Amino acid sequence: MPHSLWRRFIRRTALSAALGVCAAGLTVAAPLATSAAAAGTLTQVTSFGSNPGNLAMYEYAPANLPADAPLVVALHGCTQSASDYHAHSGWQKFADQWGFAVVYPQTSSANNSLSCFSWFDSTKDTRGKGEAASVMQMVDTAAAQYGSDRSRIFVTGLSAGGGMTADLLADYPDVFAGGSVDSGLPAQCATTQTAASGCQYSGQNLTPKQWGDKVRNSYPGYTGSWPRVAIWQGTSDTTVTPANGTELRDQWTDVWGIGQTASSTQSLTGGTTESVYDDSTGKPAVALFSISGMAHGLAVNPGSGADQCGTTGSYYLGYICSSYYTAKFWGLDGSGGQGGGTGSLPAPSGLTVTGTTDTGASLSWNSVSGAASYDVYRGGTKVGSATGTTYTDSGLSAGTSYSYTVAAVDSSGAVGASSASVTATTTGSVPKCYTDNNYNQVQAGRAHQSGGYTYANGSNQNMGLYNVAVSHTLKETSAGYFVIADSGC
């Protein structure tokens, strides 16, 4: 944000400079109509819990979202809205392409005059409190609605949303498998408004261990695995000093128990340098993306290329598609989080579903020169490999959609880029179960009565007396055919 405009904001709101970690366009999209979620449409969810942080919940899911798909939480910057972030950030493109849902929490001027998430307020950004608790209620609601894979829930955010992202990763390492902090701040850098500007404009001169302790102290006693963290920072950012990128790197490498020397470094488009820090198994745990000359904002790269996304605007800056590289770092493309594939082989083209049964799906794809084999991924998890260009996945549930990608593997075992995803829907139907008293089962058309007794339609099994005192569970195994399933469905 230009300094003159920044000063006008501060004078107008009488807030400290720290409250205005402001990475936003000044035009906020009109509120969306409240409705139940519809596939392929950004919609508002008006009931998702007690909402102690007074946030709004919006969500997006592509059509035919497969079972056990990942879930991404995306937090806007100051003065932005959920619809603004959805329109510019590029997350919709990859949700559609790779099959995952996105939740967009939205704060407002009722919480903060600049509509910033409260990354600096310990009564709002800590585990079980305020805005952090509201975001968790959104996660629980969306995961239940979509049947999300609870082991693949991720969070990303820009600026103030990035600061809140770091806090959420520290608060809930048992929930988030990974995160991405874009032009943001380290977890718990400030716990009061007055301390926030120091984090924003200067380094804090803490050791990696001191930074790591801020994460560990956010959920004392936690002994599980830590989220994998991507960090995006422009070198010419005067709103959130570039030192924050280094401090975030120090914080999360210390949490992982790895050093601050990069395992690998490479140059990407848009003047971007990617530094990767591997865990003890050689898998990327932390990645720092430093963008030469970029000011404060979210990096996007409009275009139709595979690695392009988003639209430019105020605080959406045309350098590189950060959402693409973040999604690949997390493994949402089916690479399993290998930073987009360690090998140089290109992505297989022409991945097609050639047939389905009630328990299986058959795939084919075009060959890749130099490939010794191919890895097949279902919902981002490797399920098998093939030396040819066909594969049949088995042991699936009837009437269920699954997302697949394929990656070529060279003779050294290095995995290349993943293909675009396809969705396979198995045949058959998923049995439905209904538990109710015998009277209501008859009224609902699932059973009938004769001589004072109740009988299941189709199987004609005796369910006992025709009254409200006797209850059973009926399973519909085919249209209009019900069997008693009291022992489990």
SS3 90: coil
Q: State the Cα–Cα distance between residues 13 and 96, nearest whole angstrom.
A: 39
Helix or strand run (H / E) with residue 4: helix 3-13
Distance, C-alpha 355 to centroid of its chain = 30
Q: State the Cα–Cα distance between residues 116 and 19, nearest whole angstrom.
A: 7
Distance, C-alpha 352 to centroid of its chain = 26
Nearest-Å Rg of the Cα atoms of the chain is 25
Query: How many DSSP H helices and E strands does the chain contain?
Result: 10, 26
Which of 83, 118, 159, 275 is flagged as catalytic? 159
Q: How crowded is residue 280: how many other Cβ atoms within 10 Å of its Cβ? A: 9
Does the active-site annotation cover 83? no
Q: State the Cα–Cα distance between residues 36 and 59, nearest whole angstrom.
A: 10
Q: State the Cα–Cα distance between residues 361 and 44, nearest whole angstrom.
A: 34
Residue 144, CA distances (Å) to 138, 139, 141 in order: 10, 8, 5
Q: State the Cα–Cα distance between residues 208 and 249, nearest whole angstrom.
A: 9
Query: Would you name the residues annotated as active-site residues?
Result: 159
